[in-house]
Amino acid sequence: MTTSAHLDAAPASVLPGEEARIPLELRNSGNVVEHYAFEVLGPAARWSTVEPATLSLYPDTAGQVELVVTPPRDTTVPPGELTYGVRVLPQEQPQHATVPEGVLHIRPYADFTAELTPRMGQGRTGAAFQVALDNRGNYPLAVALSGKDAGELLTFTFPAAATVVEPGRAAFVKLPVKPKRLIWRGMAVPHVFQVTAAPAPGPDGAPDVPPAPLDGSLLQRPVISAGLIRILVALLILLAVLAGLWFGLLRPVVRSAAKEAVKGPVQTAASKAAEAQKAAEDAKKAASGGSDGKPGDDKPSPSPGVSVKPGEGPQPLPQAALFSHRLTASASANGTDSATYKVPEDKVLRLTDLVLENPQGDTGTVTLSVAGKPLLAPALENFREQDFHWASAILVGAKQEITVTVTCRTVGRPPSGPNPTKCATAALFSGTLE
């Protein structure tokens, strides 16, 4: 063989986002001037080059080029050992091509953020919070959550095990926070607390990731609020006024009207009773005048019954139809796009559930509007999938529109597949259509 080439036997170490230069030694053992070209082989080829790109050597001389490796600081470049090769192509004698191989050590790096939403919750028996864990490093992170408040007046419900967040992904952990004691009446009391998201140590050589402290607060409202007391007092006053009206005005009027209404029938009944009594006395006298028979007992005949036909109640309203619809919007970087759904004529949509999707990890904002009024406007970088549920449905009237608007700041890069050119956001909303 007229051409020989070799790389350094020791593995070259490089951190994603930085550069490593690996020398490649060449020797021309032939008897003609040889020109060489180079081709990098293996997974590292897409972010590696050879400098200079070509090299000429006189017979029985040696030379050197450098393999420049620049792995991107991206979650798709995992840490570990990576084998690569460089094909050396002689132009004069291509049959003497050679492929020296080497090992590249990709070092791990961490890029971790956490966010507590909402920052302030409120309720009588507690509130539901959510911790967003975002791993932009190149290895999985196991994150444990803990929390405390100054007065130890709150209880936190954390997952039993650490939450594992894959590279380039985000995880959302629900965090119920409840007070240990209820406030029955009085003023609302704020409780300040802190949740700590602590990543576990990574693989060998990985940097230590400091824990992320997240500050929040819970406004504990009394069970019996001042507004509820005012409503109860107002109801009692109203009941007292109604009772006064009844006993002072309405009851005497009703009683007088009832007396007038029964006055005529009572007089008629009294007259008939007198006539019946006179006839009975006459009959008694006639019987005592010569008859041996005993007077019979008069028994009133029962009044005929009145047949009442049962009435028919109102028919139940038809069941509302279950409804769901999905809107998608896509926009280029620094651009905006919208998608709209219009409620049919003579229909009302009861909106109870909403799921927002950010599958690519885009950054920007997505706004949900109902009848032209913004309802929600979360940041895309805070979620990959986020759901909302309303106990009291949001009513959307006939011919009103539900609009999803995405404002793209940066297009995300999913872990697999081609790199997208637009932000892609979807909203799935459901409820009943009546």
Convert the pLDDT of each residue in 243-267 to its tens digit.
Answer: 888 887 777 777 777 767 766 676 7
Same domain, 68 and 33: yes
Give the count of domains, the chain.
4
Asked, for residue 274, whether it belongs to a domain, the answer is: no
Same domain, 170 and 79: no
Same domain, 366 and 416: yes
- Pick the last residue of a domain from 106, 133, 162: 106
Same domain, 327 and 428: yes
Asked, for residue 281, whether it belongs to a domain, the answer is: no
Q: What is the pLDDT of residue 272?
A: 75
Say if residue 205's pLDDT is above 90: no
Say if residue 301's pLDDT is above 80: no
Q: What is the pLDDT of residue 10?
A: 82
> pTM score, two decimals?
0.50
Asked, for residue 191, whether it belongs to a domain, the answer is: yes
83 vs 291: which has the higher pLDDT:
83
Say if residue 378's pLDDT is above 80: yes
Q: Which CATH number do you get for residue 424?
A: 2.60.120.380
Asked, for residue 294, whether it belongs to a domain, the answer is: no
Same domain, 91 and 129: no
Say if residue 55's pLDDT is above 50: yes
Q: Which domain holds residue 254?
A: 225-260
Determine the Cα–Cα distance for residues 230 and 228; give it in Å rounded to an integer.
5
Determine the Cα–Cα distance for residues 290 and 274; give it in Å rounded to an integer.
26
Same domain, 346 and 397: yes
Q: Express as a percent the part of the chain with pLDDT over 90.
A: 63
- Pick the last residue of a domain from 64, 84, 106: 106
Asked, for residue 298, whether it belongs to a domain, the answer is: no
Same domain, 137 and 62: no
Q: Band of the pLDDT at 231, cuts 50, 70, 90?
A: confident
What is the mean pLDDT of the segment spanning 314-341? 83
Same domain, 100 and 20: yes
Same domain, 91 and 174: no
pLDDT tens track for 387-419: 999 888 899 999 999 999 999 999 988 877 788
Same domain, 215 and 156: yes
pLDDT tens track for 92-102: 999 989 999 99
Q: Band of the pLDDT at 169, cuts 50, 70, 90?
A: very high
- Pick the last residue of a domain from 106, 135, 168: 106
Q: What is the pLDDT of residue 308?
A: 37
DSSP per-residue letters across 15-53: -TTS-EEEEEEEEE-SSS-EEEEEEEESGGGGGEEEESS
Same domain, 229 and 210: no
Q: Which CATH number do you get for residue 65?
A: 2.60.40.10
**Which neighbouring-strand residues pair with 195?**
147, 214
pLDDT tens track for 265-280: 767 766 777 777 777 7
